[in-house]
Amino acid sequence: MVKLTMKKSRIFLLLTIFSTLSLLSYVGPGAGFAFVGSFFFVFAAFFLAVFNFLTFPIRALLRLARRARIMKKAKFKRVVIVGFDGMDFHLMKRFQREGKTFPAFAKLAAQGTFSPLWSSEPPVSPVAWSTFSTGVNPGKHNIFDFLTTDRRTYMPKLSGSDILPPKRTLKIGQWIIPLSSPKIELKRKSQSFWKIVSAKGIYAAVLRVPFTFPPEKFYGTMLSGLGTPDLRGTQGTFTFFTDGGSQDFDLSEGVFESLTPLGDGRYKGTIKGPGHPFKQGHPPLEIPFTLKVKRGDASGEVSVGREKIALAPHRLSAWQTIEFKAGWAKVSGIAQWVLEGIDPIRLYLSPIHLNPEKPAMPISHPKIYSVYLAKLHGAYATLGMAEDTWSVNEGILSERAFIDQVYGTQDEREKVFFDVLGKIKSGLIVQVFEATDRVQHMCWRYLPGSQSPAPKPSSDPEVVEGIARCYGRMDAFLEKLLAKLQPKDLLLVVSDHGFNAFDREFHLNSWLNREGYLVLKEGKTRSDKWYADVDWSRSRAYGQGLNGIFLNLKGREGQGIVNPGEEAQRLKTEIKERLLKARDEERGQAPVKAAFIREEIYRGPYVENAPDIVVGYRAGYRVSWESAVNYVGDRVFSDNTRPWSGDHCFTRDQVPGIFYSNRKIGEKDPGLVDIAPTVFAAFGIPKPAFVDGRDLKIQD
């Protein structure tokens, strides 16, 4: 054991030294992959590493002194926060009434506290987890949805981060030489509670909290969560290979690729990766592979370079390294395969994750941390949304393979969590697990009593009973955690929101068109994706993201026509009132429970970046898949027939999250906004003036 520990220590030391010499890299959505490096960078990085090494003893002593002063006032030696994304209070109570036993959750409730937890408005993950991370309302942390809008072009863009290419380049024929570094920017504002805590000398480990890409610098370690892109720079693009025709499959979110037969059960194909960094137009880098199929047992083997991966039918493979080359530069990713059929060939390749052992972008803090974990535990998922719901939605990945993917990711994350828990005996540990969210999105239609119009083809108990079994898996994890807690530990278990049915689609942009707010070009009765046929010179409002409506404001939008001030205010009020009167005549229901003018629910310096109107859907309804990609059609309501049958884009009172603690609390109605100030109080740190939440008064 001593030799093994020494070996791990040597590996970590070597990695720490040599990681500072790696080249900078960049992934840009739509622009391809750019590699940026220079002798100056390597030279400067080496001397920075030497400086940090020489000054470490002084910095460590100062940090210890700060920590000693703070810990004298602390009520707890260690604070552990576990997030179960999407775990629902009402569903937990329902399972308990039905006799499903979750002993660890029950023990925690009896020992301390079990309560519903207020989410954000709207209760969607980026907004909710950012509120959790900062203890402030969205008007102060600047995250209002998964997507925001480009005011000039009306196109959607990610709300959590910007990945910007080098500003200066040199073009020589078909080649592009970068002359400056790319930039990756976290768009969430305010300060995370772990950064404030660590500034007091208290070590913090933050694992997989959504919207922490790119990772922050603080005294501690971090693995980025939801929002971390794949190697192509997207939020997760799978590839589907077949020897059949593309017309047999309808792919809107994945990449279709043909396989070429070689005879004797062998096929060849091409994996497309990130854009070429040095060529005009950034054509995708490519790497060949071969597939050998054994028709007797419907198994196969994939060969990429020198690496071979065995494929069992309908089962997720091990991770395979996929390395692309662009001249002297290389970029490494990892991916998993599933052989879903052989007549015709149906071969699934997961989104290509950034290789944690050779990350092309910073996915951890310090940068070496992801490498260290890969050396210790092996390859692991790095994509923010590692569980590929889109491929299930489009009928490519089977439901059982998806469940295996969910729990494979869960197992990887539990390994890291318990490794951290065993090493950090004093300080702050925060971990978010997302299995509950992913399983509920895809398996809600299988819940007894569901009225979902989506098909329910599976008879596999892991799918049909998927949600209850997932809650049971989280209970088993919690049982292991409770056994490892120390007497002076504070444990908080939270979720960012709850869940409910998504049975009907509300085509928001089609409704805006019908009501005269979003106008199409002359002669057009519908618009293709991305507002292709919208006449902005006559349009006053448009939908963007999952819950937002923006005015076409003069001086703000590229072709704005609505005057700021009184006219804009009247228009917002009018749209809000009409939304509340909208009615699904087929079902006899109102699709919108509440609509908020942004100033009614947000306050702070970033309110101007919020949608002008936030739509709170009634449970059962959600913005349509078509509206989410800025399509305008002739129908306002339709059935949601996709496997994605559960959601939470409603109002927060309809989908409360869960709050558990191993201690009693002195306040009622806890909310996500209260977690940060409660952590400050647990460590004896005064609450910063900008924080909106309150201390829940944990009893020690």
Mean pLDDT of the chain: 90
Is 594 among the domain residues?
Answer: yes
Number of independent structural domains in the chain: 1
Instruction: Give me the domain span that covers residue 511.
Output: 502-647
CATH number of domain containing 595: 3.30.1360
Is 484 among the domain residues?
Answer: no
pLDDT of residue 5: 37
Q: pLDDT tens digits, residue range 363-393?
A: 999 999 999 999 999 999 999 999 999 999 9
574 vs 564: CA distance, rounded Å: 15
The torsion angles phi and psi of 245, rounded to 5 degrees, stand at -90, 150
pLDDT of residue 169: 79
pLDDT of residue 20: 30
Is 429 among the domain residues?
Answer: no
pTM of the model: 0.90
pLDDT of residue 165: 77
Is 620 among the domain residues?
Answer: yes
Is 583 among the domain residues?
Answer: yes
Q: How many CA atoms lie within 13 A of 422 on its CB side?
A: 7
How would you classify residue 367: left for phi > 0, otherwise alpha for psi between -120 and 50, otherwise beta?
alpha
Is 254 among the domain residues?
Answer: no
Instruction: Please give the C-alpha separations between residue 630 and each of 506, 624, 665, in angstroms, as whole numbers.
Output: 13, 10, 45
pLDDT of residue 279: 84
pLDDT of residue 265: 94
Q: Is 395 exposed, middle or buried (0-12, 13-18, 19+ CB in 10 A)?
A: middle
How many angstroms separate the most distant Cα atoms in the chain? 78
Is 643 among the domain residues?
Answer: yes
Is 82 among the domain residues?
Answer: no
Q: Name residues of the chain where pLDDT drops below 70.
A: 1-70, 246-251
